Amino acid sequence: MSIELTRVDFRLIHGQVITRWVTLLGINEIVTIDTVLSKDDFMQTVFKMAAPKGVKIRILSVEDAVKSQQNGEFENNKVMILFKSVKELDNAIRSGLKLKEVQIGGLGGGPGRKAVNNAITFDRADADTLLALEDLGVNIYLQTTPDYPSETLKKAVEKL
């Protein structure tokens, strides 16, 4: 068992999208890596209540996630790793988290952001950061739900 899916989605654990990925991949543990959230007990409770039934939830800082991976803790279950932002993903990888593949599922809207795939938006900073991570050997693709086709990062960035 191991990391089955790593996903960046600003909504983190939310409704049917996460439930569909969990069911499709047989996920039995979700590890959310978010340093700010790891220090907010109230919000942790909210996210844990939103999790699909029977799925273990851990919310870790970047530092604790790297240590957990080094200690083999992600090998005990079928794990989904969630990030809220590209910035936190970048921080985790540059701090030593080893990831082969990352799915971009939702980054939210706002000024300077452009839709590049379904409801997935990028700004130049996200695009540049993700391209730099691909240069480090991480395969990055965009996909909102299991029934929606995936797209390569390169194709998405061409739309900016």
- The CATH number of residue 108's host domain is 3.40.35.10
**pLDDT digit string, tens, across residues 79-128:** 999 999 999 999 999 999 999 999 999 998 889 999 999 889 999 999 99
Q: How confident is the model at residue 13 (pLDDT cuts 50, 70, 90)?
A: confident
Domain that holds residue 103: 3-157
Count of domains for the chain? 1
Q: Is 96 left (phi over 0), alpha (psi -120 to 50) or beta?
A: left
User: What is the rounded CA–CA span in Å between residue 33 and residue 126?
Assistant: 18
Closest CA to 74 of 60, 94, 91, 88: 60
Query: Where are the extended beta strands (E) located within the chain?
Result: 3-9, 29-33, 56-60, 79-83, 101-106, 114-117, 120-122, 139-142, 151-152
**pLDDT digit string, tens, across residues 17-63:** 888 999 999 999 999 999 999 999 999 999 888 888 899 999 999 99
Please list, residue by residue across 49-68, b when 16 or more beta carbons sit within 10 angstroms of its beta carbon and e when fewer do: eebbeebebbbbbbebbbeb
Catalogue the long-range contacts made by 110-113 (C-beta closer than 8 Å, 24 or more residues apart).
Answer: none
User: What is the rounded CA–CA span in Å between residue 145 and residue 16?
Assistant: 9
| Inter-axis angle of helices 86-94 and 62-70, nearest 10 | 50
